[in-house]
Structure 1
Amino acid sequence: MDFRAAAPALARPVRVPLFVVAVVAAVVAVVMGFLFHGHTLGTELDESVYRTLHGSIEPSFAYGVAWVIGSAGDPLGAALIVVLLAFLVHRAGQTRLAVLVVAGPVVTGVVTTLAKPVAGRYINGDNLSYPSGHTAFVTAVGLIIGLFLTTRYGLGRIGGTAVVLGLALLCAAAMSWSQVSDRVHYLSDTFGGFCVAIALVTATATIVDAVIDRVNARR
């Protein structure tokens, strides 16, 4: 890959807004982890939302849609999405972002996996639930697609930030519906996964750019 002329992974117009949101998201994710430590039941809001959403997947078509969305966060589905997205981004010339396509979801997946036993929150018996790795993954994908579009179409700070966070939120909302309605996660688990992804992908993009800039400087 040629990184010398490649656009930054973290598009310049959205850096400051994303840094601010990422810091807030990281704090929220950690605080929620402490608050839910050792819990085996959802909050009143979690249970209320579950009862509302569970009825939305009773029709067979809606259940199928929920299953497809949930499968996107499974290992095989996630791997296929990452490979395809990395290929497309690389072909579009955004080589730094192509690195982030792989590094962002991997870092997010590792952290959410390690965080689950630390948070120690359970659902459906002894299944660790916080934070939601599935939601974190699709949030990372949405955020990266938003970064791609921001650079591709030269969006400014306001437009770029709206696209990046909007796509991340849209992807997270879809996965949250899938996971909560099927009682795989509590609503708060999916919000935690959303926050973790925002924080980690922003941090990973910053590191990717810093490392590549240093390598280019040495050349």
Structure 2
Amino acid sequence: MKEGVLAAPRALPPVLRPAAFVLAVIGVLTASVLGLGYAGTSAPTGPDATLVDALAWSGDPWWTIATVIDFVGEPVGAALTLILFSGLCLYSRRPRTAVTGVVAVLVTVGLTSGLKPLTGRYIHGEFLSYPSGHTGFVAALAFTAALGAFGGLRRGPATALLVVVVFAAGTAMGWAQVTMGAHYPTDTLGGLGVALAVVPAVASLTDRVSARRTP
């Protein structure tokens, strides 16, 4: 088993390492700047005021689609998604990717939960909203999966696909959260930022720990 882990593909492939850490820096800056800028607020101001109207699509099928997407970030949906993700990783002999995905998701969700009371931003006057844990969850898992899926490609295509997948996942969940009235648009950007910051660090640590293990 130890030999298998040592021989497994890296969680953070060399071809995607530069892009991953650029995204991490962007994530830290995004989450920090938005968190400081919207701390203590409780109404959509600035870009949020415009984006809420543009993104909150009412009526079916939009509400149903948003509900389905939202379920992925709910406790039951998240557990099922993690089980499926881990199973696919292990089936494809990528234990490092499986470990990275689970740990990165737990760290991301933990950070988004811990930052909410520190930021003190409310939606509907009573619910802490910044940053979005649902968006962070989906973005972290998509980021990890993309690292595993595209690490064997050339740098240009791999980087482009990584960015598209991560931001598409974050956008989909972000839209669902805004449509359902659970978050402001900038809350979802904050959740995405946390995920971008966490995944490269966890993937790098997973590779280091795995490489130091001896058979």
TM-score band by shorter chain is: over 0.9
Q: Which residue of 1 aligns with 2:41?
A: 39
Q: Which residue of 2 aligns with 1:207?
A: 205
TM-score, length basis structure 1: 0.93
Unpaired stretches in structure 1, ≥5 consecutive residues: none
List per-residue Cα deviations over 1:30-72 (Å, max 9, x = no partner). Answer: 1211111111112232121212223x231x2221111000111
**Alpha-carbon distance in 2 for matches of 1:57, 1:92:** 40
SS in 1 for 2:61: helix
Contact 2:97–2:145 (8 Å) recurs in 1: no
Q: From 164, 168, 176, give the equivalent of 2:174.
A: 176
| 1:24 to partner: Cα distance | 2.4
Matched, 1:118 2:122: no
List per-residue Cα deviations over 1:9-36 (Å, max 9, x = no partner). Answer: 0111010121122022112211211111
SS in 2 for 1:138: helix
Unpaired stretches in structure 2, ≥5 consecutive residues: none
Q: Higher RCO, 1 or 2 (CA under 8 Å, sep at least 6)?
A: 2
The residue type equivalent to 2:113 in the other structure is T
- List aligned pairs for 1:58-77, cutoff 5 A: 58=59, 60-77=60-77
Q: Which residue of 1 aligns with 2:104?
A: 104
Displacement over 6 Å in runs of 4+:
none
List per-residue Cα deviations over 1:176-202 (Å, max 9, x = no partner). Answer: 111112211000010111111011011
**Alpha-carbon distance in 1 for matches of 2:211, 2:6:** 8
Q: % of aligned pairs identical?
A: 37
Q: Aligned pair count? A: 213
The residue type equivalent to 1:9 in the other structure is A
Contact 1:25–1:196 (8 Å) recurs in 2: yes
Q: Which residue of 2 aligns with 1:91?
A: 91
| 1:124 to partner: Cα distance | 0.8
TM-score, length basis structure 2: 0.95
**Alpha-carbon distance in 1 for matches of 2:136, 2:125:** 22
